[in-house]
Amino acid sequence: MTDSCRGRAKSEISLVVNGALKTVNAYPMERLLDVLRHQLQLTGAKEGCGEGECGSCAVLMDGMLVNSCLVPVLQAQGSNLVTIEGVAAEGVPHALQQTFLECGGAQCGICTPGMILASAHLLNQKPEPTIDEIREGLSGNLCRCTGYAQIIEAVAEAARRRTTA
């Protein structure tokens, strides 16, 4: 949280989160991450570093992968957001959620929400990524538990299931 959010008037900011229109009253420079976690009670996005290095706070904003700790909420005005809570379609887990479970892609789980959103973004861009493309595509999301191998396998497996489905 920067000082610049203090001493300024809050404004009404509207955004679509996981398909539902939300209006929040927030300081314009407040971090999107804090608004999601504290005002919208969407605590799936995590703060790992607060400076855009670890990707634990990653969400999709108009289809783009962003680190929500670096996005002032004003910038999200009118945008369409997807968080980990909105990844499953009507209770059916996303293919990535299923393959992360099956392949051991989640250990402590703290990077998992951001990692799954980064993986979903990657598969949207490249439905059949090579292993090197997966390594590159997830290199903005840090995981200290897995050494990434089982995450990479989960993404490759989700891609395989989608293309053979």
Partner 1 sequence: MNNDRIIGNSVPRKEGRDKVTGKSQYVDDMVLPNMLFGATVRSRIPRGRIRNITFGPGISWNEFAIVSAKDIPGKNCIALIGDDQPCLANGFVNHPEEPILLLAHPDRHLLPQAVEAVSIEYDPLPAIFTIEESERRAEIVWGEDNIFKTYLIEKGDVDGVWEQADCIVEGEYTTGAQEQLYIENNGMIAAFDATKGITVWGSLQCPYYIHKALMALCDLPAEKVRVVQMETGGAFGGKEEYPSMIAAHAALLAIKSGKPVKIIYDRMEDMVATTKRHPSRTRHRTGVSRDGKILGGEIDFTIDGGAYATLSSVVLSRGAIHAGGPYYWPNVRIRAKAVATNAPPHGAFRGFGAPQSLFAMERHMDRIAQTLGVSPVEIRRRNFLQPGQTTTTEQIVREPIDLGKLLDRALEVSNYQTKRQQFAKENHRGQTKKGMGIAAFLHGAGFTGSGERYLSSVVGVEGCADGSVRVLVSSTEFGQGTNTVLSQIAAEALGLPYESVSMAQPDTLQVPNSGPTVASRTVMVVGKLVQSAALGIKQTLISSNLLGEAYSAEEFRSACRNYIAKHGQFRSWSRYEAPSDIFWDDQKYRGEAYAAFAWAVYIAEVTVDLTTYSVSVDDFVALQEVGRVLHPLLARGQIIGGVAQGIGFSLYEKVVWQNGRMQNGQMTNYIMPTSADLPSIRVFFEELGNVYGAYGAKGIGELPMDGPAPAIVNAVEDALGIRFDSIPLLPEDIMDALVPSSPLSGVGSTGGDR
- Binding positions for partner 1, 124-143, rule CB under 8 A: 134-136, 138-143
Whether 146 and 107 have beta carbons less than 8 Å apart is answered as: yes
Single residue of 39, 75, 80, 107 touching partner 1 by CB under 8 A = 107
Amino acid at 102: E
Amino acid at 62: D
Site string for partner 1, 51-80 (x = CB under 8 A): x-xx-x------------------------
The span of 42-50, 60-68, 72-80, 157-165 binding partner 1 (CB under 8 A) equals 42-50
- Count of chain residues binding partner 1 (CB under 8 A): 58
**Interaction of residue 48 with partner 1, rule CB under 8 A:** yes
Whether 144 and 53 have beta carbons less than 8 Å apart is answered as: no
CA distance 11 to 96: 36
CA distance 154 to 5: 39
**Interaction of residue 19 with partner 1, rule CB under 8 A:** no
Report residue 15 as tokens: 């955004």
Report residue 141 as tokens: 């999301």
Which stretches of the chain bind partner 1, using CB under 8 A? 1, 3, 5-6, 37, 42-51, 53-54, 56, 83-85, 87-88, 93, 97, 100-113, 116, 134-136, 138-152
